[in-house]
Structure formats: structure tokens, C-alpha cells
Amino acid sequence: MFTLALAHGVFALIQFHALGDVNPIVSLLASNTRFASVADFPFQLLGFLALLILFLMAATSHDFWLHNLSAPVWKRLHMLVYLAYGLLIAHVSLGALQSETSPLLAGVLGAGVVVVSTLHLAAARVERHIDEAVRGGEDFVPVCGVSDIEPDRARVFTLGDERVAVFRHGACVSAISNVCRHQGGPLGEGKIIDGCVTCPWHGYQYLPETGAAPPPFTEKVATFRTQVVDGRILVHPRALPPGTRVEPARIGVESRSTS
């Protein structure tokens, strides 16, 4: 995305700002200051700002920066993609659409905005539903039936302040933190491959019994105690330290609910 944007930006800079006596960047920033006008708004500046954001994202799109900035800081930086998207929509709306006579470009742009917004609102609704169904307490909490979870898949529940991914693997049930240590991916949306919980974003893997990545990798997530009582899965809301081994609850081998 950055490469395409850079090619477009360089072409536009040469075409509109490189043939005079003023530095092209200075010309871009100072040639048009009519911010109060919709028809003459300096839309190129919006594209330039979006390009800067895409540059920051491209320059830090490597695990080196993820590890050195820390996952939360890196994630906040890359959330700027939403700002870049908004700037690009405004860049096109105040630029090309001011002179474009065909409705096709406006239709494509509008359709894209609708699709992106709809998908994000739908995802937000699902996420809100998960967080609204908060379960807590100091004892094991029933979350769902065993049959509610497909083999080698998970369901996500909010226990206290944390989302927990409850996996069904073979004749066992295990629960780990839903947040991948790599980039905060939703482990509960992944599945178990080769005996490991596999993050759907970038394939990072964790053993369901320990929450630890298989050697030589060192990532670890918190684990939770589980029980199966009368075909129902119970999870203790208190997280155990990342990498703590927890014996999986056995399906068909009923447990007694204890704190």
C-alpha cells in the first residue's frame, strides 16, 4: 500500500510542483492555503499526511520494531491506518471528485466506505456481545456446554477483565488467554493444528495445556483451570501465570466443582 501511494505521490509531486523555482515539498505545503473552501481545499496535503502514516507503518512492519516498541505501542501506531483511510477518502473527495463528471468513481468510493464501515460495525457488535456477557466470581464459572465448541476450535468468554479462549481438543478442554503475545491476535478465533493453538493472524502457536509456545520459541500466555460437570464446561476466572501447566479437563470424566 505504501509503495503504491509513494508512486502516486511522487508522480503528482513532479507533475504539479517540480517545474517551478520553489522546492516541490515547500510548494506542496504552501501553494494552496484555502482551507475554508470546499471546492479549492488543499486536498494534496491530506494525501501527503496519509503517505506519512503509511510510511511509518511500512517502516515498522517487522518483528524487530514490534519487540523494541512493545506490542501495545506498536499496535497503537498501526491503528493510525484508520486515520490514513479517512485522510485518503477526504483526499479523493475533495480532489478527483471535484472535477470527475462520471458517477462511477464516486460510486466505487462510496461502496468501499460502506463495506469497510459495515464490516467494522458488525465486528464491533460481536465484540461488544462478548464483553457484555461478563462472568466472574471466586469459584468455577459455567461458560457453555461441551457440544457448543467444535473439535479443535474454541469459544471466547469474558471472565472478569480478561477474554478467555476455551478450546476443545480431543477428549480434553483447556483455557488460555485470548490475546496472542505477538500482535494481540484473537487466539480463540484460531484452531488447534499439530496439537498447538494457532493464532489466525500470523500462525504463532501455544500448547493448550501450558500456554507456552513450543521450543525454541519463548512466548507464553496465561492459563486457566477448567472442569467438565454434567456436560458443561466450567472455568476458574483467576488467571494463572503465563506458561503455567494446567491439566486439561477430560470430557466424559466428570469433575466436582471446587474453588
pLDDT digits 0-9 by tens, 110-148: 999 999 999 999 988 887 877 776 666 678 999 999 999
Residue 19 lies in a domain: yes
Asked whether residue 41 falls in the same domain as residue 94, the answer is: yes
CB 17 within 8 A of CB 31: yes
pLDDT attached to residue 257? 46
Question: What pLDDT, on a 0 to 100 scale, did the predictor assign at position 70?
Answer: 85
C-alpha cell at 115: 463495506
Domain that holds residue 48: 2-99
SS3 169: strand
Q: Is residue 113 included in any domain, yes or no?
A: no
pTM for the whole structure: 0.72
Q: Are residues 78 and 18 in the same domain?
A: yes
Domain shared by 91 and 151, yes or no: no
Query: How distant, in Å, are the alpha carbons of 4, 7, 99, 160, 163 from that of 83?
Result: 18, 20, 25, 32, 27
Do the domain assignments include residue 122? no
Out of 44, 71, 99, pick the residue that ends a domain: 99
Split into its structural domains, the chain has a count of: 2
149 shares a domain with 245: yes
Q: Over 50: is that where the pLDDT of 192 sits?
A: yes
Please name the residues in contact with 90: beta carbons below 8 A apart, sequence gap of 6 or more: 43, 46
Closest CA to 8 of 91, 106, 97, 109: 91
